[in-house]
């Protein structure tokens, strides 16, 4: 038998989701069987698999000792550098400027120096995060950037903030602005592009088309040309949808690839300028949350990253 006492970070989620995270060694088939046998209880009472937990609840799971031996807290994040550039921080969220060359999450290797691990180490050192006191929650990124894309990434310090920010992303209440340099002019000074997108998971590349095709989803990308110089354009981009490699692939699709992009870009132009990492930065973000949201105070804050190195280098001012 194992017992869990639900804190604020554990509350507000279905009990099956909680158990999956709190007891990762418990096979899902066994968990479902325990529910059917009424061997999972909340406050000593039988519960349904869809029951939602509240702070103060006691969850009891009747399993054998070897299965309920306790969650081994992964402390490998303490081996990360802990170096982060904080742009904004409060009790609920943390916005950092991710440098080029750092993965947002682990890519399946043993590499531990990821952005989320740096954030966990930072919060642990501040005594704002203690893995031992959490059953199912850990600070999490609400968005991610490619390894070679710099800029703003939002992380949630608690479960309530994570739910709020993720909901804001789904409902279009988190507006993300990017800056990039393209090697060919865009069709107009500003506009909104629409296309269809599908990711090839095996090759980690996406296909873009002007018409729907099998497995595709619509993408919408807004742009505003800020400056042009010597064949290059400094462009502000707003994402209205958030698909894999959307900006890079969409701009390449219309003939205006991003400078330095080795996957979708113009290889000859990249060689000519000596750029081999995409000139793309998540530059600013703004919330437009409902007034009832506990994070509505963020509506009054505009968060901007430091001026990207590529923007300084080509001096568009």
Give this prediction's pTM: 0.84
> How large is the angle between the packed helices 15-22 and 28-36, nearest 10 degrees?
140
Q: Where are the domains of the chain?
A: 2-61, 76-170, 175-314
CATH code of domain 175-314: 3.30.2350.10
Alpha carbon separation from 268 to 32, 51, 234, 259 (Å, rounded)? 56, 58, 19, 10
CATH class given for the domain over 2-61: alpha beta
Q: Would you say residue 4 has pLDDT above 80?
A: yes
* Residues in a beta bridge with 97: 152
Question: Which spans in 6-138 are helix H?
Answer: 15-22, 28-36, 115-125
For residue 63, the model assigns a pLDDT of 85
Q: Is the dihedral of CA 308, 309, 312, 316 positive or negative?
A: negative
Give tens-digit pLDDT for 270-306. 999 999 999 999 999 999 999 999 999 999 999 999 9
Give tens-digit pLDDT for 31-66. 999 999 999 999 999 999 999 999 999 999 998 765
What superfamily does domain 76-170 belong to in CATH? Pseudouridine synthase (3.30.2350.10)
- The total number of residues written for the chain in this structure: 317
Closest CA to 284 of 260, 317, 311, 248: 311
Number of CB atoms found within 10 A of residue 64's CB: 9
Whether 2-61 and 76-170 share one fold: the answer is no
Give SS3 for 155. Answer: strand
How sure is the predictor about 237, in pLDDT bands with cuts at 50, 70 and 90? very high
* Residues in a beta bridge with 153: 96
């Amino acid at each position: 038998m194992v017992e869990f006492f639900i804190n604020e970070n554990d509350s507000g989620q279905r009990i099956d989701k909680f158990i999956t995270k709190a007891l990762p060694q418990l096979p899902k088939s066994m968990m479902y069987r325990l529910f059917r046998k009424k061997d999972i209880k909340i406050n000593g009472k039988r519960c349904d698999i869809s029951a939602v937990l509240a702070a103060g609840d006691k969850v009891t799971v009747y399993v054998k000792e070897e299965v309920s031996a306790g969650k081994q807290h992964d402390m490998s994040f303490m081996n990360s550098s802990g170096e982060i550039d904080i742009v904004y921080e409060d009790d609920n969220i943390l916005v950092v400027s991710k440098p080029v060359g750092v993965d947002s999450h682990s890519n399946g290797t043993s590499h531990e120096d990821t952005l989320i691990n740096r954030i966990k180490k930072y919060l642990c050192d501040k005594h704002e995060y203690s893995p031992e006191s959490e059953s199912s929650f850990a600070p999490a990124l609400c968005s991610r950037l490619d390894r070679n894309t710099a800029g703003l990434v939002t992380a949630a310090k608690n479960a309530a903030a994570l739910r709020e920010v993720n909901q804001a992303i789904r409902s279009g209440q988190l507006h993300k602005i990017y800056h990039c340099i393209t090697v060919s002019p865009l069709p107009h000074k500003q506009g909104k592009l629409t296309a269809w997108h599908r990711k090839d998971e095996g090759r980690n590349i996406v296909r873009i088309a002007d018409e729907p095709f099998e497995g595709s989803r619509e993408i919408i990308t807004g742009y505003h040309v800020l400056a042009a110089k010597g064949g290059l354009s400094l462009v502000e981009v707003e994402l209205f949808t958030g698909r894999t490699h959307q900006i890079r692939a969409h701009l390449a699709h219309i003939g205006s690839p991003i400078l330095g992009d080795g996957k979708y870009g113009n290889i000859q132009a990249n060689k000519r300028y000596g750029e081999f990492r995409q000139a793309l930065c998540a530059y600013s973000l703004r919330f437009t949350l409902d007034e009832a949201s506990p994070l509505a105070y963020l509506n009054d804050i505009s968060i901007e990253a430091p001026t990207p190195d590529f923007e300084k280098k080509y001096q568009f001012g």
